[in-house]
Structure 1
Amino acid sequence: MRHSLPLAPQFYVTAPQPCPYLEGRMERKLFTALQGESSQKLNDSLSKQGFRRSQNVLYRPSCADCAACLSARIDVTRFKPSRNQRRVQRRNAHIERRATSPWATEEQYDLFRRYLDERHADGGMADMDVFEFAAMVEETPIRSRVIEYIDRDSGALIATCLTDMLDDGLSMVYSFYEPDLARNSLGKWMILDHIEIAREAGLPYVYLGYWVPGSDKMGYKAEFNALEIFRRDGWERLENVGDFNAEMHPLSTDPIAEQVANISFPDTRG
Protein backbone atom coordinates (compact mmCIF):
# COMPACT_ATOMS: atom_id res chain seq x y z
CA MET A 1 0.00 0.00 0.00
CA ARG A 2 1.40 3.43 -0.94
CA HIS A 3 0.31 6.93 -0.01
CA SER A 4 1.90 10.07 -1.38
CA LEU A 5 1.54 13.83 -1.60
CA PRO A 6 2.57 16.02 -4.53
CA LEU A 7 6.21 17.14 -4.29
CA ALA A 8 6.56 15.22 -1.01
CA PRO A 9 8.18 11.93 -0.06
CA GLN A 10 6.26 8.75 -0.74
CA PHE A 11 5.03 6.87 2.32
CA TYR A 12 4.49 3.16 2.77
CA VAL A 13 3.06 0.91 5.48
CA THR A 14 4.60 -2.32 6.71
CA ALA A 15 2.59 -5.51 7.03
CA PRO A 16 1.34 -6.20 10.59
CA GLN A 17 3.62 -8.35 12.74
CA PRO A 18 3.75 -9.27 16.46
CA CYS A 19 4.58 -6.30 18.68
CA PRO A 20 7.94 -6.69 20.46
CA TYR A 21 6.78 -4.58 23.42
CA LEU A 22 3.19 -5.49 24.27
CA GLU A 23 2.07 -9.10 24.28
CA GLY A 24 -0.91 -9.94 22.10
CA ARG A 25 -0.62 -6.77 20.02
CA MET A 26 0.34 -6.32 16.38
CA GLU A 27 2.62 -3.55 15.16
CA ARG A 28 2.64 -1.65 11.88
CA LYS A 29 4.92 1.19 10.75
CA LEU A 30 4.53 4.17 8.45
CA PHE A 31 7.81 4.86 6.67
CA THR A 32 9.55 6.78 3.91
CA ALA A 33 12.96 6.73 2.27
CA LEU A 34 15.64 9.16 3.39
CA GLN A 35 17.73 10.11 0.38
CA GLY A 36 18.96 12.99 -1.73
CA GLU A 37 20.14 16.48 -0.92
CA SER A 38 17.18 17.23 1.38
CA SER A 39 17.82 14.24 3.68
CA GLN A 40 19.09 16.30 6.60
CA LYS A 41 16.18 18.75 6.48
CA LEU A 42 13.67 15.92 6.16
CA ASN A 43 15.20 14.06 9.10
CA ASP A 44 15.18 17.21 11.23
CA SER A 45 11.54 17.94 10.37
CA LEU A 46 10.12 14.44 10.76
CA SER A 47 12.06 13.75 13.96
CA LYS A 48 10.08 16.61 15.49
CA GLN A 49 6.91 14.79 14.41
CA GLY A 50 7.61 11.48 16.11
CA PHE A 51 9.65 9.73 13.40
CA ARG A 52 12.87 7.77 13.97
CA ARG A 53 15.71 6.91 11.61
CA SER A 54 16.97 3.43 10.73
CA GLN A 55 19.73 3.63 8.11
CA ASN A 56 18.10 5.41 5.13
CA VAL A 57 14.51 5.02 6.35
CA LEU A 58 12.35 7.25 8.55
CA TYR A 59 9.49 5.52 10.37
CA ARG A 60 6.98 5.86 13.17
CA PRO A 61 4.41 3.42 14.61
CA SER A 62 1.04 3.37 12.89
CA CYS A 63 -0.70 0.40 14.47
CA ALA A 64 -4.30 -0.18 13.41
CA ASP A 65 -5.81 -0.34 16.90
CA CYS A 66 -3.13 0.90 19.30
CA ALA A 67 -1.24 4.15 19.93
CA ALA A 68 0.85 3.06 22.92
CA CYS A 69 4.28 3.79 21.37
CA LEU A 70 5.16 7.44 21.96
CA SER A 71 8.23 9.26 20.72
CA ALA A 72 10.11 10.66 23.73
CA ARG A 73 12.68 13.39 24.22
CA ILE A 74 14.31 15.14 27.17
CA ASP A 75 14.13 18.91 27.55
CA VAL A 76 17.78 19.59 28.37
CA THR A 77 17.14 22.99 29.96
CA ARG A 78 14.64 21.54 32.46
CA PHE A 79 16.43 18.31 33.25
CA LYS A 80 17.84 17.77 36.74
CA PRO A 81 19.43 14.43 37.61
CA SER A 82 17.84 12.42 40.40
CA ARG A 83 19.83 11.19 43.38
CA ASN A 84 20.16 7.76 41.76
CA GLN A 85 21.28 9.30 38.45
CA ARG A 86 23.96 11.31 40.26
CA ARG A 87 25.21 8.04 41.73
CA VAL A 88 25.35 6.59 38.23
CA GLN A 89 27.42 9.57 37.11
CA ARG A 90 29.88 9.15 39.96
CA ARG A 91 30.11 5.39 39.39
CA ASN A 92 31.20 6.01 35.79
CA ALA A 93 33.58 8.90 36.34
CA HIS A 94 36.41 6.73 34.99
CA ILE A 95 34.86 6.55 31.49
CA GLU A 96 36.20 8.66 28.65
CA ARG A 97 34.05 9.78 25.72
CA ARG A 98 35.30 9.60 22.14
CA ALA A 99 33.26 10.86 19.17
CA THR A 100 34.11 9.41 15.76
CA SER A 101 32.68 9.32 12.25
CA PRO A 102 29.99 6.67 11.54
CA TRP A 103 32.42 3.87 10.75
CA ALA A 104 32.00 0.35 12.14
CA THR A 105 34.91 -1.51 13.73
CA GLU A 106 35.50 -5.10 14.80
CA GLU A 107 35.80 -3.93 18.41
CA GLN A 108 32.35 -2.34 18.23
CA TYR A 109 30.84 -5.45 16.66
CA ASP A 110 32.37 -7.74 19.31
CA LEU A 111 30.82 -5.57 22.02
CA PHE A 112 27.53 -5.46 20.12
CA ARG A 113 27.43 -9.28 19.91
CA ARG A 114 28.13 -9.70 23.62
CA TYR A 115 25.37 -7.21 24.38
CA LEU A 116 22.82 -8.94 22.14
CA ASP A 117 23.67 -12.44 23.33
CA GLU A 118 23.23 -11.42 26.95
CA ARG A 119 20.38 -8.89 26.78
CA HIS A 120 18.41 -9.49 23.57
CA ALA A 121 19.09 -13.05 22.42
CA ASP A 122 15.53 -13.42 21.16
CA GLY A 123 15.19 -9.94 19.64
CA GLY A 124 14.95 -8.84 16.04
CA MET A 125 18.70 -8.10 15.83
CA ALA A 126 19.84 -11.42 17.32
CA ASP A 127 21.06 -12.79 13.97
CA MET A 128 22.72 -9.61 12.74
CA ASP A 129 26.13 -10.36 11.23
CA VAL A 130 29.13 -8.05 10.92
CA PHE A 131 28.05 -6.78 7.48
CA GLU A 132 24.55 -5.91 8.68
CA PHE A 133 26.07 -4.21 11.70
CA ALA A 134 28.33 -2.15 9.44
CA ALA A 135 25.30 -1.14 7.36
CA MET A 136 23.42 -0.05 10.49
CA VAL A 137 26.30 2.23 11.47
CA GLU A 138 27.56 3.47 8.14
CA GLU A 139 24.46 3.80 5.94
CA THR A 140 23.44 7.27 7.03
CA PRO A 141 22.68 10.16 4.65
CA ILE A 142 22.74 12.73 7.46
CA ARG A 143 25.10 14.07 10.12
CA SER A 144 25.80 11.15 12.44
CA ARG A 145 28.48 10.23 14.94
CA VAL A 146 29.54 7.10 16.77
CA ILE A 147 30.08 7.97 20.42
CA GLU A 148 32.46 5.45 21.98
CA TYR A 149 32.99 5.15 25.72
CA ILE A 150 36.36 3.91 26.90
CA ASP A 151 37.40 2.63 30.32
CA ARG A 152 40.21 5.04 31.12
CA ASP A 153 41.99 2.47 33.32
CA SER A 154 41.97 -0.52 30.95
CA GLY A 155 41.53 1.19 27.59
CA ALA A 156 38.65 -1.15 26.76
CA LEU A 157 35.60 -0.11 24.76
CA ILE A 158 32.66 -0.63 27.12
CA ALA A 159 29.78 1.26 25.46
CA THR A 160 28.81 2.75 22.10
CA CYS A 161 25.99 4.90 20.77
CA LEU A 162 25.10 5.74 17.18
CA THR A 163 23.91 9.34 17.41
CA ASP A 164 22.27 11.64 14.87
CA MET A 165 22.83 15.38 15.02
CA LEU A 166 19.56 17.26 14.52
CA ASP A 167 19.03 20.99 14.26
CA ASP A 168 17.38 20.99 17.70
CA GLY A 169 19.14 18.17 19.49
CA LEU A 170 20.75 14.75 19.53
CA SER A 171 18.94 11.57 18.56
CA MET A 172 20.19 8.36 20.16
CA VAL A 173 19.59 5.94 17.30
CA TYR A 174 21.00 2.80 18.94
CA SER A 175 23.22 2.12 21.93
CA PHE A 176 24.85 -0.98 23.40
CA TYR A 177 27.28 -1.72 26.19
CA GLU A 178 29.29 -4.33 28.08
CA PRO A 179 26.71 -6.66 29.66
CA ASP A 180 29.08 -7.73 32.44
CA LEU A 181 28.96 -4.19 33.82
CA ALA A 182 25.27 -4.18 34.71
CA ARG A 183 26.01 -2.49 38.05
CA ASN A 184 27.26 0.58 36.18
CA SER A 185 23.87 1.23 34.51
CA LEU A 186 25.68 2.14 31.30
CA GLY A 187 22.47 2.55 29.27
CA LYS A 188 21.21 5.23 31.62
CA TRP A 189 24.66 6.76 31.89
CA MET A 190 24.89 7.22 28.10
CA ILE A 191 21.63 9.16 28.20
CA LEU A 192 23.00 11.36 30.98
CA ASP A 193 26.16 11.94 28.96
CA HIS A 194 24.16 12.84 25.84
CA ILE A 195 22.25 15.39 27.91
CA GLU A 196 25.61 16.89 28.83
CA ILE A 197 26.78 16.87 25.19
CA ALA A 198 23.57 18.62 24.10
CA ARG A 199 23.92 21.18 26.90
CA GLU A 200 27.52 21.92 25.88
CA ALA A 201 26.43 22.35 22.24
CA GLY A 202 23.46 24.57 23.13
CA LEU A 203 20.95 22.03 21.80
CA PRO A 204 17.59 21.87 23.59
CA TYR A 205 16.66 18.18 23.26
CA VAL A 206 17.88 14.60 23.46
CA TYR A 207 15.63 12.22 21.53
CA LEU A 208 15.34 8.75 23.09
CA GLY A 209 13.18 6.84 20.62
CA TYR A 210 9.88 5.37 21.76
CA TRP A 211 8.50 5.08 25.26
CA VAL A 212 5.86 2.37 25.63
CA PRO A 213 3.74 2.50 28.82
CA GLY A 214 3.35 -1.00 30.18
CA SER A 215 6.54 -2.30 28.56
CA ASP A 216 9.36 -3.22 30.95
CA LYS A 217 11.86 -2.89 28.08
CA MET A 218 11.07 0.82 27.72
CA GLY A 219 10.29 1.72 31.32
CA TYR A 220 13.72 3.19 32.05
CA LYS A 221 13.03 6.21 29.81
CA ALA A 222 10.31 7.43 32.16
CA GLU A 223 12.92 7.65 34.96
CA PHE A 224 14.28 10.82 33.37
CA ASN A 225 12.50 14.00 34.38
CA ALA A 226 11.82 16.79 31.88
CA LEU A 227 10.53 14.09 29.52
CA GLU A 228 8.25 15.07 26.66
CA ILE A 229 6.15 12.75 24.50
CA PHE A 230 4.72 13.25 21.02
CA ARG A 231 0.98 12.65 21.00
CA ARG A 232 -1.87 13.91 18.82
CA ASP A 233 0.47 15.81 16.50
CA GLY A 234 2.30 17.70 19.25
CA TRP A 235 4.78 17.45 22.10
CA GLU A 236 3.56 17.52 25.69
CA ARG A 237 5.24 17.20 29.06
CA LEU A 238 4.97 13.86 30.80
CA GLU A 239 4.16 15.10 34.28
CA ASN A 240 3.04 11.98 36.16
CA VAL A 241 4.07 8.64 34.69
CA GLY A 242 1.93 6.66 37.12
CA ASP A 243 -1.25 8.39 35.98
CA PHE A 244 -0.54 7.97 32.28
CA ASN A 245 -2.80 5.55 30.39
CA ALA A 246 -1.74 4.21 27.02
CA GLU A 247 -4.22 4.51 24.18
CA MET A 248 -5.00 0.98 23.04
CA HIS A 249 -8.48 1.02 21.53
CA PRO A 250 -9.68 0.67 17.91
CA LEU A 251 -9.98 4.44 17.35
CA SER A 252 -6.54 5.35 18.72
CA THR A 253 -4.90 5.71 15.30
CA ASP A 254 -6.03 7.95 12.43
CA PRO A 255 -6.34 6.42 8.94
CA ILE A 256 -3.06 6.38 7.02
CA ALA A 257 -4.18 8.99 4.49
CA GLU A 258 -5.01 11.43 7.30
CA GLN A 259 -1.67 10.79 8.99
CA VAL A 260 0.26 11.53 5.80
CA ALA A 261 -1.85 14.62 5.07
CA ASN A 262 -1.00 16.02 8.51
CA ILE A 263 2.78 15.63 8.16
CA SER A 264 4.67 18.88 7.71
CA PHE A 265 7.60 18.94 5.29
CA PRO A 266 10.60 21.29 5.17
CA ASP A 267 10.98 23.85 2.43
CA THR A 268 13.78 22.44 0.27
CA ARG A 269 13.65 25.12 -2.43
CA GLY A 270 16.93 26.85 -3.06
Structure 2
Amino acid sequence: MYIFNLSSKSYLKKIIILLTSMVKLRIRELAQENVYHLLSVTSGVSEEAIRTYATQTSDDFKKIAIALNWSVTEPGVAQVFQMLDPVKAKDMAVDLLSTASGISPDDIQKYANENQEFNITEKIEDLKKIAKALDVEMVELVKPKEKREAIRLKIAELAQDKQISLKELANQSQVDFPIICFYSSQPIEKKKLTQEPFHTNLSKISVALNCNLEDLQDTKKAELPPTTLRVKEFLDATDLNINDLSLLTGANSEFIDLIATNPMDLRNIPSWGEEKVICEIMCKFLHCTCN
Protein backbone atom coordinates (compact mmCIF):
# COMPACT_ATOMS: atom_id res chain seq x y z
CA MET A 1 0.00 0.00 0.00
CA TYR A 2 1.27 3.48 -0.89
CA ILE A 3 1.77 5.72 2.13
CA PHE A 4 1.35 9.47 1.62
CA ASN A 5 4.55 10.96 2.92
CA LEU A 6 3.50 14.50 3.84
CA SER A 7 2.85 15.27 7.48
CA SER A 8 -0.87 15.36 8.27
CA LYS A 9 -0.61 18.88 9.70
CA SER A 10 1.10 20.20 6.57
CA TYR A 11 -1.41 18.55 4.26
CA LEU A 12 -4.36 19.70 6.35
CA LYS A 13 -3.04 23.27 6.37
CA LYS A 14 -2.87 23.27 2.56
CA ILE A 15 -6.45 22.07 2.36
CA ILE A 16 -7.63 24.74 4.83
CA ILE A 17 -5.79 27.45 2.88
CA LEU A 18 -7.44 26.27 -0.33
CA LEU A 19 -10.89 26.23 1.22
CA THR A 20 -10.56 29.71 2.70
CA SER A 21 -8.77 31.35 -0.21
CA MET A 22 -10.21 33.94 -2.52
CA VAL A 23 -9.97 32.33 -5.94
CA LYS A 24 -10.94 33.06 -9.51
CA LEU A 25 -13.10 30.55 -11.37
CA ARG A 26 -12.87 29.21 -14.90
CA ILE A 27 -16.63 28.76 -15.29
CA ARG A 28 -16.96 30.36 -18.73
CA GLU A 29 -14.07 28.35 -20.15
CA LEU A 30 -15.48 25.06 -18.83
CA ALA A 31 -19.02 25.89 -19.96
CA GLN A 32 -17.76 26.54 -23.49
CA GLU A 33 -15.67 23.37 -23.49
CA ASN A 34 -18.69 21.35 -22.34
CA VAL A 35 -21.40 23.20 -24.25
CA TYR A 36 -22.69 20.09 -26.03
CA HIS A 37 -22.89 18.27 -22.70
CA LEU A 38 -24.90 21.18 -21.26
CA LEU A 39 -27.16 21.19 -24.31
CA SER A 40 -27.67 17.46 -23.81
CA VAL A 41 -28.57 17.95 -20.13
CA THR A 42 -31.05 20.72 -20.90
CA SER A 43 -32.62 19.13 -24.00
CA GLY A 44 -32.60 15.43 -23.17
CA VAL A 45 -30.92 14.68 -26.52
CA SER A 46 -27.77 12.58 -26.22
CA GLU A 47 -24.46 14.41 -26.48
CA GLU A 48 -23.32 11.99 -29.17
CA ALA A 49 -26.37 12.82 -31.28
CA ILE A 50 -25.83 16.56 -30.80
CA ARG A 51 -22.21 16.27 -31.88
CA THR A 52 -23.34 14.28 -34.91
CA TYR A 53 -25.89 16.94 -35.81
CA ALA A 54 -23.19 19.59 -35.57
CA THR A 55 -21.19 17.89 -38.32
CA GLN A 56 -24.10 17.80 -40.75
CA THR A 57 -24.95 20.27 -43.47
CA SER A 58 -28.22 22.16 -43.18
CA ASP A 59 -29.89 19.82 -45.68
CA ASP A 60 -28.62 16.75 -43.81
CA PHE A 61 -29.96 18.21 -40.58
CA LYS A 62 -33.41 18.59 -42.15
CA LYS A 63 -33.31 14.94 -43.26
CA ILE A 64 -32.36 13.89 -39.71
CA ALA A 65 -35.21 15.99 -38.29
CA ILE A 66 -37.70 14.36 -40.69
CA ALA A 67 -36.39 10.88 -39.87
CA LEU A 68 -36.90 11.62 -36.17
CA ASN A 69 -40.44 12.88 -36.85
CA TRP A 70 -39.55 16.33 -35.59
CA SER A 71 -42.24 18.84 -36.39
CA VAL A 72 -40.10 21.84 -37.16
CA THR A 73 -40.39 24.78 -39.48
CA GLU A 74 -37.70 25.81 -41.94
CA PRO A 75 -36.60 28.83 -39.83
CA GLY A 76 -36.65 26.68 -36.70
CA VAL A 77 -34.36 24.08 -38.24
CA ALA A 78 -31.96 26.76 -39.37
CA GLN A 79 -31.91 28.36 -35.92
CA VAL A 80 -31.25 25.08 -34.14
CA PHE A 81 -28.60 24.17 -36.68
CA GLN A 82 -26.84 27.48 -36.11
CA MET A 83 -26.89 26.88 -32.38
CA LEU A 84 -25.21 23.52 -32.89
CA ASP A 85 -22.31 25.14 -34.74
CA PRO A 86 -19.29 24.77 -32.38
CA VAL A 87 -18.41 28.47 -32.48
CA LYS A 88 -21.94 29.83 -32.14
CA ALA A 89 -22.85 27.29 -29.47
CA LYS A 90 -20.16 28.77 -27.17
CA ASP A 91 -22.12 32.03 -27.05
CA MET A 92 -24.97 30.14 -25.35
CA ALA A 93 -22.78 28.14 -22.96
CA VAL A 94 -23.24 30.31 -19.85
CA ASP A 95 -27.03 30.50 -20.30
CA LEU A 96 -27.18 26.73 -20.75
CA LEU A 97 -25.12 26.29 -17.57
CA SER A 98 -27.62 28.41 -15.67
CA THR A 99 -30.47 26.16 -16.83
CA ALA A 100 -28.54 22.94 -16.21
CA SER A 101 -27.36 23.93 -12.71
CA GLY A 102 -30.51 25.70 -11.54
CA ILE A 103 -28.48 28.78 -10.59
CA SER A 104 -29.88 32.16 -11.64
CA PRO A 105 -28.49 33.75 -14.82
CA ASP A 106 -27.21 36.75 -12.83
CA ASP A 107 -25.27 34.56 -10.40
CA ILE A 108 -23.88 32.40 -13.22
CA GLN A 109 -22.72 35.54 -15.03
CA LYS A 110 -20.88 36.60 -11.85
CA TYR A 111 -19.20 33.21 -11.57
CA ALA A 112 -18.30 33.42 -15.27
CA ASN A 113 -16.55 36.76 -14.73
CA GLU A 114 -12.94 35.64 -14.98
CA ASN A 115 -11.68 38.69 -13.06
CA GLN A 116 -13.91 38.26 -10.02
CA GLU A 117 -12.70 36.44 -6.90
CA PHE A 118 -14.81 34.22 -4.65
CA ASN A 119 -14.46 32.65 -1.23
CA ILE A 120 -14.82 28.93 -1.86
CA THR A 121 -16.31 28.22 1.57
CA GLU A 122 -19.14 30.70 1.00
CA LYS A 123 -19.97 29.41 -2.49
CA ILE A 124 -19.43 25.68 -2.02
CA GLU A 125 -23.08 24.67 -2.57
CA ASP A 126 -23.29 26.60 -5.84
CA LEU A 127 -19.96 25.17 -6.94
CA LYS A 128 -21.27 21.65 -6.32
CA LYS A 129 -24.25 22.33 -8.59
CA ILE A 130 -22.05 23.89 -11.28
CA ALA A 131 -19.55 21.02 -11.20
CA LYS A 132 -22.39 18.48 -11.42
CA ALA A 133 -23.94 20.29 -14.40
CA LEU A 134 -20.55 20.41 -16.16
CA ASP A 135 -19.73 16.81 -15.14
CA VAL A 136 -16.34 17.85 -13.72
CA GLU A 137 -14.62 17.68 -10.34
CA MET A 138 -15.10 20.82 -8.22
CA VAL A 139 -11.36 21.45 -8.05
CA GLU A 140 -11.40 21.91 -11.85
CA LEU A 141 -13.54 25.03 -11.40
CA VAL A 142 -10.67 26.93 -9.78
CA LYS A 143 -8.71 29.03 -12.21
CA PRO A 144 -4.96 28.57 -11.81
CA LYS A 145 -2.88 31.68 -11.27
CA GLU A 146 -1.52 33.13 -14.45
CA LYS A 147 2.15 32.45 -14.91
CA ARG A 148 4.00 35.72 -14.85
CA GLU A 149 6.62 36.22 -17.52
CA ALA A 150 10.10 36.46 -16.06
CA ILE A 151 13.62 37.25 -17.18
CA ARG A 152 16.87 35.67 -16.11
CA LEU A 153 19.78 38.09 -15.97
CA LYS A 154 23.25 37.22 -17.32
CA ILE A 155 25.10 39.29 -14.75
CA ALA A 156 27.35 36.48 -13.53
CA GLU A 157 28.25 35.41 -17.08
CA LEU A 158 29.05 38.94 -18.22
CA ALA A 159 31.11 39.58 -15.10
CA GLN A 160 33.04 36.37 -15.69
CA ASP A 161 33.71 37.38 -19.30
CA LYS A 162 35.23 40.61 -18.01
CA GLN A 163 37.14 38.64 -15.37
CA ILE A 164 35.68 40.44 -12.38
CA SER A 165 33.98 38.83 -9.40
CA LEU A 166 30.48 39.65 -8.27
CA LYS A 167 31.97 41.22 -5.16
CA GLU A 168 34.07 43.52 -7.33
CA LEU A 169 31.02 44.28 -9.46
CA ALA A 170 29.13 45.25 -6.31
CA ASN A 171 31.88 47.68 -5.37
CA GLN A 172 32.08 49.19 -8.84
CA SER A 173 28.32 49.52 -9.33
CA GLN A 174 27.50 50.53 -5.72
CA VAL A 175 24.75 47.88 -5.72
CA ASP A 176 24.76 45.68 -2.62
CA PHE A 177 26.49 42.35 -3.10
CA PRO A 178 23.52 40.19 -1.92
CA ILE A 179 21.24 41.99 -4.38
CA ILE A 180 23.64 41.33 -7.24
CA CYS A 181 23.80 37.67 -6.19
CA PHE A 182 20.01 37.50 -6.17
CA TYR A 183 19.73 39.14 -9.59
CA SER A 184 22.35 36.72 -10.90
CA SER A 185 20.63 33.57 -9.72
CA GLN A 186 16.88 34.21 -9.62
CA PRO A 187 14.31 34.96 -12.35
CA ILE A 188 12.86 38.47 -12.09
CA GLU A 189 9.32 39.36 -13.15
CA LYS A 190 9.70 41.07 -16.52
CA LYS A 191 7.52 44.07 -15.74
CA LYS A 192 9.64 44.85 -12.66
CA LEU A 193 12.70 45.57 -14.77
CA THR A 194 11.34 49.04 -15.54
CA GLN A 195 10.28 49.68 -11.94
CA GLU A 196 12.32 50.95 -9.01
CA PRO A 197 14.66 49.95 -7.49
CA PHE A 198 15.28 47.34 -10.22
CA HIS A 199 15.76 49.84 -13.03
CA THR A 200 18.28 51.98 -11.14
CA ASN A 201 20.21 48.94 -9.87
CA LEU A 202 20.38 47.35 -13.31
CA SER A 203 21.44 50.65 -14.87
CA LYS A 204 24.33 50.86 -12.42
CA ILE A 205 25.29 47.25 -13.09
CA SER A 206 25.18 47.74 -16.87
CA VAL A 207 27.42 50.81 -16.59
CA ALA A 208 29.91 48.83 -14.50
CA LEU A 209 29.86 46.01 -17.06
CA ASN A 210 30.00 48.47 -19.97
CA CYS A 211 26.89 47.04 -21.64
CA ASN A 212 23.27 47.95 -22.35
CA LEU A 213 20.35 46.99 -20.14
CA GLU A 214 19.16 44.64 -22.90
CA ASP A 215 22.51 42.85 -22.81
CA LEU A 216 21.85 41.81 -19.22
CA GLN A 217 18.73 39.88 -20.20
CA ASP A 218 18.82 36.24 -21.22
CA THR A 219 16.78 35.62 -24.38
CA LYS A 220 15.52 32.24 -23.14
CA LYS A 221 11.98 32.23 -21.77
CA ALA A 222 11.61 31.97 -18.01
CA GLU A 223 8.72 31.77 -15.56
CA LEU A 224 8.54 32.87 -11.97
CA PRO A 225 8.91 29.92 -9.59
CA PRO A 226 5.99 29.12 -7.26
CA THR A 227 7.88 29.57 -3.97
CA THR A 228 7.88 32.82 -2.00
CA LEU A 229 9.66 32.97 1.35
CA ARG A 230 7.34 33.57 4.29
CA VAL A 231 9.04 36.80 5.32
CA LYS A 232 5.84 38.82 5.61
CA GLU A 233 4.23 36.08 7.69
CA PHE A 234 7.27 36.14 9.99
CA LEU A 235 7.11 39.93 10.30
CA ASP A 236 3.40 39.84 11.10
CA ALA A 237 3.95 37.15 13.75
CA THR A 238 6.74 39.12 15.42
CA ASP A 239 5.15 42.55 14.99
CA LEU A 240 8.25 43.76 13.17
CA ASN A 241 8.63 45.62 9.91
CA ILE A 242 11.31 45.36 7.22
CA ASN A 243 13.34 48.21 8.71
CA ASP A 244 13.25 46.53 12.13
CA LEU A 245 14.47 43.27 10.62
CA SER A 246 17.19 45.16 8.77
CA LEU A 247 18.43 46.69 12.02
CA LEU A 248 18.30 43.38 13.90
CA THR A 249 20.14 41.39 11.22
CA GLY A 250 22.36 43.98 9.61
CA ALA A 251 20.95 43.07 6.21
CA ASN A 252 20.00 45.73 3.66
CA SER A 253 16.26 46.48 3.87
CA GLU A 254 16.05 46.48 0.06
CA PHE A 255 17.36 42.93 0.00
CA ILE A 256 14.90 41.81 2.69
CA ASP A 257 12.07 43.34 0.66
CA LEU A 258 13.42 41.54 -2.42
CA ILE A 259 13.31 38.08 -0.85
CA ALA A 260 9.92 38.89 0.69
CA THR A 261 8.23 39.83 -2.58
CA ASN A 262 10.04 38.03 -5.41
CA PRO A 263 9.40 34.27 -5.83
CA MET A 264 12.56 32.17 -5.64
CA ASP A 265 14.03 29.15 -7.35
CA LEU A 266 15.18 27.27 -4.26
CA ARG A 267 17.33 24.94 -6.36
CA ASN A 268 19.52 27.84 -7.38
CA ILE A 269 20.29 29.70 -4.16
CA PRO A 270 23.83 31.02 -4.38
CA SER A 271 26.54 30.89 -1.76
CA TRP A 272 27.08 34.38 -0.46
CA GLY A 273 30.47 33.85 1.09
CA GLU A 274 31.32 36.23 3.88
CA GLU A 275 27.80 37.66 3.87
CA LYS A 276 26.88 35.16 6.58
CA VAL A 277 24.07 37.30 7.93
CA ILE A 278 22.30 36.92 4.57
CA CYS A 279 22.59 33.14 4.80
CA GLU A 280 21.13 33.30 8.29
CA ILE A 281 18.14 35.27 7.01
CA MET A 282 17.56 32.74 4.24
CA CYS A 283 17.81 29.83 6.68
CA LYS A 284 15.30 31.50 8.99
CA PHE A 285 12.58 31.42 6.38
CA LEU A 286 13.63 28.16 4.74
CA HIS A 287 13.84 26.41 8.13
CA CYS A 288 17.32 25.32 7.12
CA THR A 289 19.60 23.63 9.68
CA CYS A 290 22.86 23.95 7.71
CA ASN A 291 26.07 25.23 9.24
Q: Same fold (TM over 0.5)?
A: no
TM-score, length basis structure 2: 0.21
Q: Is the strand fraction higher in 1 or 2?
A: 1
The structure number with the bigger radius of gyration is 2
TM-score, length basis structure 1: 0.22
Q: Is the helix fraction higher in 1 or 2?
A: 2
Higher relative contact order (CA 8 A, sep 6+): 1
